[in-house]
Every structure is written in structure tokens, then in C-alpha cells.
Amino acid sequence: MMFCPRCGSLMVPKREGSKKVLACTSCSYKNKKLEVATLKERVANKEKEIEIVEDKVEGLPLTEAECPKCKHRKAYFWLVQTRASDEPETKFLKCENCKHTWRDYS
């Protein structure tokens, strides 16, 4: 990319007969030498190996809640805005023991 030495605007390549010149987009300045630049692009095709984790470690906070399925007394929880923004969030719970998921609307 070249800029005009007179006004500082971007210079673009144009044809004048059989020659290519750089011409300013704002003033009438023309550079008779067209500097040729080559662009090289190298794409590294490195595929990452997919790691499968069997035992997912929960990164959610724990609370005291009774699972309706196994009656365990601790569960992970998170909040999601499932309705309009002026209504309260929905609390989701996931049993620490059996991994059963349920909602708490209170």
C-alpha cells in the first residue's frame, strides 16, 4: 500500500497505455514506477486431536436441594433467562449423585 507524497491519500494502480502507474485518488499525482509486491499466504493444516473426557468435573456451584429421583440432598445449579427479561430467571439443578436434571421456578 502506498500513499501520495503530496496529499497523503491512497494511491491505486491504473493503466496508462501499456504501462501501469500508481495514481492518487485525490490529487493528480502519478508515480511512474509501479512497485510490484507479491503476497504469500501459508496455511498450516494442523488438526487438533479431539480429547474425550469421560468423567466431566462439574464447575458449577453446589447447593442443598433434594433430587426428586434418588432423594440425594446436594445438587449443582445454574440460572438461565428462559422468559422475558422482566420475569425471574429459571434455576436448573443437576443431582450430584445420579445426574438427574430438573427446574426450580421459586
Catalytic positions are: 86-87
Considering all CA atoms of the chain, what is the largest pairwise distance in Å, rounded to the nearest integer?
A: 87
Are residues 21 and 14 in contact, defined by beta-carbon separation less than 8 angstroms? yes
Q: Which among 99, 98, 81 has a CA at the least distance from the CA of 90? A: 81
Residue keyed to cell 422475558: 84
Quote the radius of gyration of the chain (alpha carbons, Å): 32
Can you give the length of the chain in residues?
106
